[in-house]
Amino acid sequence: MLAYLIRRFGQAILVMSVMATIVFFGLYMVGNPVDLLINPEDDLLAQEAAIRRLGLDKPVHIQFFHFLGGLVQGDLGTSFVHNTPALELILSRLPATLELAFLGVFFALVIGIPLGMYAGLYPKSPVSRTIMAGSVIGFSTPNFWQGLMLIMLFAVFWRILPAGGRGETVDVLGIPVSFLTWDGLSHLFLPALNVAIYKISLVIRLTRAGTAEIGLQDYVKYARARGLSEWRVINVHILKNILIPVVTVVGLELGNVIAFAVVTETVFAWPGIGKLLIDSIGLLDRPVVVAYLMLTVFMFVMINLVVDIIYSLLDPRIRVKRRA
Amino acid sequence: MVADTPLKRFIADYVSSPLAVIAAIGMALVILAAAFAEFVAPQNPYDLMTVNILDGSLEPGETGFDGFYYWLGSDEQGRDMYSAMIYGLRISLVVSVIAVTSAVFIGLTMGMIAAWKGGWVESLIMRIVDIQLSFPALFVALLLLAILGKGIDKVIIALILIQWAYFARAVRGAALVEIRKDYVMAARCAALSPHRILFRHVMPNCLPPVIVIATVQIANAIAIEAALSFLGVGVPITEPSLGLLIANGFDYLLSGRYWISFYPGVALLITLVLINLVGDHLRDILNPRMNK
């Protein structure tokens, strides 16, 4: 297990460095952030001072060595635009994204599992067919358009929810969160729903397939034959077993949610890391893009690892196989 | 049932599902409309002679000053939304079809090389595929476009780079199975060149999974391109795809002019559903495990 962990870490670090290098040089090729950042009305002396302050007067390979030197000391560079350390900037935006992602996944599980189980238990009923048709549409609808339509319905036509922004936040342990105030919650609901709809469809499909398969297993038949209540059969014998694939996929999807939050955050002007990335790409704010990339890659590798571990905890068969 | 050639059997299998047939017909209509946009669209939305700014922001069903009927409304510049959508559909389809075709080509080659060579070549190719597929496609596309810049060609390059991996993985799996079969052994005994064995003997047998994945990936490519254009890193404003049309309408949505983003989105959704329906059915009939 330890060797496995070390190998995974090694791989993560390799991927992070390769991607960071490519993005570092790639952004250098696309354009010069100086053109966007300095005041063209300034005299040449002031412009040169600004360029020097950003470290952009040196050749790109020297800039890269500076970046590497900073990296070793845990410094991912300073944002050209915001003039704060890139890592600090991203971490200050991270809670907003995480809040959105967790609520979205929560919606997906709470809505998706019961609907999927119903569709799996009663595949022929019209309700199940409606659920499945809905999940096909949920799958196919482009995320950003879905967000626009939510805004159109809830904010423009019915005027019951705000169209964007984060609303009032409360500090919990120094981290601002929205879900504790009514205003924050009303701002959070639509973006979270936007994040959730695709996941709900996914969870419905997984749960339905799992329920239909497990419903035919001998131990379920035996549980019914023993005269256990249907409630107990469904909630203990079936639910526990379908949770394995659902947990894996939803765990893996958490990374996807954070990556796709770029779209939702842009639609709803939600001040998370996704919006920060899009703004930084537009402004060629290289330190922020590179730092975002390294953090996200690291996060993905960690999520994959954690899911693998949880998976082996939930399914004893995998542990047995590994030992053998 | 007359089932003498694989093609006839395939067609017989395909028409067994009425829904899939309807989806295929719908898809054909969508492709035709996009291909012949000049003849299908009532207006050329990018010809300044036919677009009148006085007809801007008309609601669906209104008539313009010159008597032109805007049944899906018009945008801020007075462009007929229905026409703009058909032209936008064309750009969406062209981008995704070029990208997926190139990705199929690269993926087929890489997958077969991996299966044939084995050893460190296979490990290297499959490692890259694994690592790439562990990240969401949109995330990879965003970063690629961040370093490539904007433009239709850049979007296509980004789509190829994110999609080849799906094909490489599927082809390697299929090719590994095929290479162990007797006919490949026979071809080797006949001292045919590896190139000929791979491309003439093995490749045709690896195509069914590729066809299924390609169908689904075209839908994915359209969706990713739309999302990228919406985020402002995709196609340029002069060649608006469906995604960019939706993005343009975003600014007017809050003032109640919903149709500028609503209808292009509906068109996008219908296209994606049609492709996915065809793809689902293809998967059912081409899946070797389901063959009777």
Q: How many Å is the Cα radius of gyration of chain B?
A: 23
Q: Name, in order, each residue with C-beta under 8 angstroms of A107's C-beta and a sequence gap of 6 or more.
A: A192, A193, A195, A196, A199, A200
- Is B136 at the interface with chain A, CB within 8 A? yes
DSSP string covering B158-205:
HHHHHHHHHHHHHHHHHHHHHHTSHHHHHHHHTT--HHHIIIIIIHHH
Residue A50: exposed, middle, or buried by beta-carbon count in 10 A (0-12, 13-18, 19+)? middle
Helices (H), A151-236: 182-214, 218-225, 230-232
**A–B: how many Cβ contacts below 8 A?**
111
Asked if residue B291 has pLDDT above 60, the reply is no
A67-81 mean pLDDT: 79
* Phi, then psi, of A171 in degrees rounded to 5: -85, 125
A21-34 mean pLDDT: 75
Read off the pLDDT band of A324 (50, 70, 90).
very low
| Cα A88 → chain centroid | 19
Q: Which residues of chain A have a CB within 8 Å of the CB of B136?
A: 255-256, 259-260
Residues A144-161: tens digit of each pLDDT? 899 999 998 998 888 888
DSSP letter for A38, please.
S
Domains of chain B (ranges plus CATH)?
A: 10-290 (1.10.3720.10)
Q: How far is CA A270 from CA A170, A302, B160, B261, in A?
A: 16, 25, 31, 20
Least confident of A61-70, A223-232, B93-102, B281-290: B281-290
Q: What pLDDT, on the 0 to 100 scale, is given for residue A316?
A: 63
Instruction: Give percent above pLDDT 70 in chain B.
Output: 97
Length of chain B: 292
Largest CA distance in chain B: 77
Q: What pLDDT, on the 0 to 100 scale, is given for residue B107?
A: 94
Q: What pLDDT, on the 0 to 100 scale, is given for residue A318?
A: 57
How many CA atoms does the CB half-sphere of B208 hold within 13 Å?
19
Choose, out of A27, A141, A145, A286, the residue to mutate when testing the contact with B (most B CBs < 10 Å): A145
Residues B171-214: tens digit of each pLDDT? 998 999 888 889 988 988 988 888 888 888 888 888 888 988 99
Note whether A151 contacts B227, CB cutoff 8 Å.
no
What are the respective helix, strand and coil percentages of chain A, to the nearest 5? 75, 0, 20
- Report the C-alpha gap between B37 and B41 in whole angstroms: 6
Best CA proximity match to B273, nearest among B20, B66, B85, B88: B20
Instruction: Give percent above pLDDT 90 in chain B.
Output: 30
- Residue identified by tokens 């694989």 is B6
Q: How many Å is the Cα radius of gyration of chain A?
A: 24
Choose, out of B89, B128, B134, the residue to mutate when testing the contact with A (most A CBs < 10 Å): B134
pTM over the 0.80 mark: yes
- Report the C-alpha gap between B157 and B164 in whole angstroms: 11
Q: Which residue of B has its CA nearest to A157?
A: B256
Domains of chain A (ranges plus CATH)?
A: 2-72 (no CATH), 91-323 (1.10.3720.10)
- Report the C-alpha gap between A22 and A259 in whole angstroms: 19
- As given in the structure block, the two tokens for residue B139 are 């995330």
